[in-house]
Structure 1
Amino acid sequence: MAGAQTHNDIRDMLLDAAGLSLDRLPMLHVVFDRLAAFCADSLRHLAASQAYYSLSHVESGRIGDILEVYEANAIAGVFHVPTWDTHVIVGFDRDFVFTIIEVLFGSDGSEPPLDEERSFSNIELRVAQALFEEIAKALQMSFALVSDVQFKFERVETRMDFAVIGRRNNLAVAAKFLLQAIGRGGEMFVIIPQSALTPMRQQLARVVSGESSGRDPTWARQIRSEVQRAEVSLRAILEERQIELGEVADFHIGQIIQLQATPLSPVKLECNDQALFWCSLGQSEGNYKLKIEDVVSYEQEYIDDILPR
């Protein structure tokens, strides 16, 4: 037993030294896809304009090297994760901050985007902090697939040298997300030390049934709700006939066009030019009404179209 435990300890040390192979952790991409969906859903309740989050890519590297790219060009939020006994970083680059400010304050994108190399204002820092607190909830829900964990927001940093979550030469996983809104965009990044993910590598290596595409029940319900609220046109057709263009040209005001249809003729009900049901026509309280009788058979419709009448 002791020999087996020693063997496992040595294997863990070797894996930690070599770093994680992201190709062997499919669930990590699922988690980050969920994070993008949750962030978009959270922003939808705060902004009038539609904003889209998408996972750009996931990479591994040294913490210092990853942060160096964003020096003097980003706002970083430091989160404590007690369960993992570590910290993680979520950051917004300058374009992200400027875009989100305009979206939240009702801009339609008609004005040219800001392109200034300046310090972030107090309003921009406070908005970023509010977003970090929302992202803490999104991170917890996203990682619920593999770990029961909480992310506690601690502080905001604008200097990457102060965004300390361990030694700068320690390995970390960085996920990059693209924000698109009002014709502009920006980048959000999440940095997680590999030492926090290594104990979960078995959970991250498996694909949970039904989650491989990043689907989430809450997100699916939201999409369904938005689709069901879409406006469509409904049309009832009592009779259709083909006539020559010359007859149409002779139409005049006051002319009476005879129909072969009767009150007992079936009425075709269409939605957005798509035939759905056959109905019977009736009247009640001074209004015409339809009663759905049968589903339109596309096979019969096709036969009626090709056979001579």
Structure 2
Amino acid sequence: MTSPGSPSEARSLIIERLVGDSGEAAQVIGTGRGMAERAAPLLQKSLTSELGVPVTVDLRAVEISRVAEARSHAGDTFAMTIIASATSSDAMTVVIDAPAIAITVCTLFGGDPEMPASPIERDLSQIEVDVSTMVIQQVAQALNGSGRRSLDLRLPVPRAMSGTEAKRHVLRDGAAVRIVFGISTPADSGTVTVTMPQRIVLASRDSAASVSQDDHSASWRARFSEEVMRSTVALEATMPLARLTLGDLADFEIGQVIEFEETAQSQARLSARGKTLFVCEFGKLGQNYTVRIRHPYDAGQDFIDGLMPAAAGRA
């Protein structure tokens, strides 16, 4: 998972984890619709060029949603890719449904666009996943934009997921905008759904408008009511103790002393409402115990670090 690159980005991610980063609905939908309307003709042109036959791309919906609902309308068979940007590991989640996959595969390999494509009611083949990735790449390029409006997506996109992998992949939840494009031939129609966190959409809008820091602060006040910003949050600092077997734990006795690991002091975690926010260093200032913030918590790196002791044990 990508760590925030600046204090303001870290603040944005922390507030999103605690209360859900969202903007005023009309503003978010308006910004998302503007992006989608600019992208639709570019996407139609690029897909027609890649497939070799005319296809129609139309904008079907722009609505408020949640990132966790990105694949909820795709049915049992679909392909999905999560695209990172310079500031976010999940700036865009793109899902292409089975009818759209069937259309693109059929037309790419010489099928008659005037005839219905055979429906896909099974796990996708490797070729179908590759074609889905190609379509998602075209969608990302069309939406990415350039200049001040650019989303700064990391392209080319990762290879699409499908089947059990796509269905079980954990999506970091948050307020989002959902954009649905239709891909059609005279005989068939499918959809490509793009889900973007609202913080990404709003950041793009703010960048295009070249807002000052004062304007940025004002937008935060408009986004979150004064009541929310004044609410108190209980902080909890915890330190890792030790890694023990269940047998060791079962042998514990009253009065037994347990040693901290050597690195425990530098691995304290600062949390609020069950969400870990920072990795800290435990210390003491005068008569008071303290924690000093080292860096924002990175869940992806923490997961990888948790695997390392297990891997070492197996070796």
Query: 1 or 2, which has the higher helix percentage?
Result: 2
- TM normalised by structure 1 equals 0.54
State which drifts further: 158-167 or 29-38. 158-167
Q: CA deviation at 1:119?
A: 0.9
What CA distance in whole angstroms lies between the structure 1 residues aligned with 2:151 and 2:68? 28
What CA distance in whole angstroms lies between the structure 1 residues aligned with 2:200 and 2:194? 13
Q: Which residue of 1 aligns with 2:95?
A: 91
What CA distance in whole angstroms lies between the structure 2 residues aligned with 1:118 and 1:196? 34
Tell me whether 1:173 sits opposite 2:177 in the alignment.
yes
What CA distance in whole angstroms lies between the structure 2 residues aligned with 1:60 and 1:155? 27
What CA distance in whole angstroms lies between the structure 2 residues aligned with 1:98 and 1:202? 38
State which drifts further: 26-35 or 79-88. 79-88
Q: Which residue of 1 aligns with 2:23?
A: 20
Q: Which residue of 2 aligns with 1:161?
A: 167
Q: CA deviation at 1:99?
A: 0.8
What CA distance in whole angstroms lies between the structure 1 residues aligned with 2:69 and 2:141? 27
What CA distance in whole angstroms lies between the structure 2 residues aligned with 1:91 and 1:182? 22
Name stretches of at least 5 consecutive residues in structure 1 with no aligned partner: 1-8, 207-309
1:75 to 67, 73, 79: 79
Which residue identity does 1:87 align to in structure 2?
A
Which residue identity does 2:154 align to in structure 1?
F
What CA distance in whole angstroms lies between the structure 2 residues aligned with 1:110 and 1:148? 36
Whichever of the two has the greater Rg, that structure is 1
1:49/1:108 contact within 8 Å kept: no
What CA distance in whole angstroms lies between the structure 2 residues aligned with 1:18 and 1:127? 34
Q: CA deviation at 1:71?
A: 4.9
Q: Which residue of 2 aligns with 1:133?
A: 137
Q: CA deviation at 1:177?
A: 0.5
Aligned residues: 196
Q: CA deviation at 1:76?
A: 0.7
Which residue identity does 1:120 align to in structure 2?
L
Name stretches of at least 5 consecutive residues in structure 2 with no aligned partner: 1-10, 211-315
Q: What's the C-alpha RMSD, in Å, of the aligned pairs?
A: 3.3
Q: CA deviation at 1:173?
A: 1.2
Q: CA deviation at 1:179?
A: 0.8
What CA distance in whole angstroms lies between the structure 1 residues aligned with 2:131 and 2:45? 17
Which residue identity does 1:115 align to in structure 2?
P
Query: 1 or 2, which has the higher strand percentage?
Result: 1
Alignment of 1:249-288 (within 5 A): none
Which residue identity does 2:167 align to in structure 1?
D
Q: Which residue of 2 aligns with 1:258?
A: none
Q: CA deviation at 1:19?
A: 2.4
- TM normalised by structure 2 equals 0.53
What CA distance in whole angstroms lies between the structure 2 residues aligned with 1:174 and 1:188? 10
What CA distance in whole angstroms lies between the structure 1 residues aligned with 2:68 and 2:151? 28
Q: CA deviation at 1:151?
A: 3.2
